[in-house]
Amino acid sequence: MCVMWGEARVTPQSMGLGSPPWWARASFTAYLAWNIAWLASGRIPPSALRVLIGLPCPTTGCTRSLLSLVHGDLQASLLWNPFTIPIVVLLGGSLGMLLFATLRRRQLVLPRWLGTAWLSVLLAAWLAKFLLGRAYW
């Protein structure tokens, strides 16, 4: 695939983007299929990590947390996942930066500090899931 931007010829390889490894593509495809199957049946998909190995994902409960927040139940929202708001803010910021880079025709690379922020929030969210107990997984 080649896209012409101005005079320069830009390809995924020239941007430092190679094709993801087969296992990453297969994992992503399985993850999408899992979620689509549950959503098609009219239900919220359970955490694939929890179903496969019995441990919650750091984002487990975010949908229920957001729904509780929308209905004005802050206590339930915090119990389902106290890190929902930071996760949503990080997601919005990350997508915004990627969109901005795309519009400016720059390399799609997020800053290192954002990766550190993601890692910190997800680790804290995971710890919170264990502290809150299985009732909120």
Provide the pLDDT for residue 3.
Answer: 47
* Residue 11: predicted pLDDT: 54
Contacts (Cβ under 8 Å, ≥6 apart) of 118? 90, 94
Query: Global pTM?
Result: 0.70
Distance (Å, whole) CA 17 – CA 109: 10
Mean pLDDT of the chain: 87
What is the b/e burial string over 52-82, where b = at least 16 CB atoms within 10 angstroms of the residue's CB?
eeeebbbbbbbebbbebbeeeeeeebbbbbb
The reported pLDDT for the residue numbered 96 is: 96
d(CA 46, CA 59): 11
Q: Which two tokens stand for residue 17?
A: 């983007």
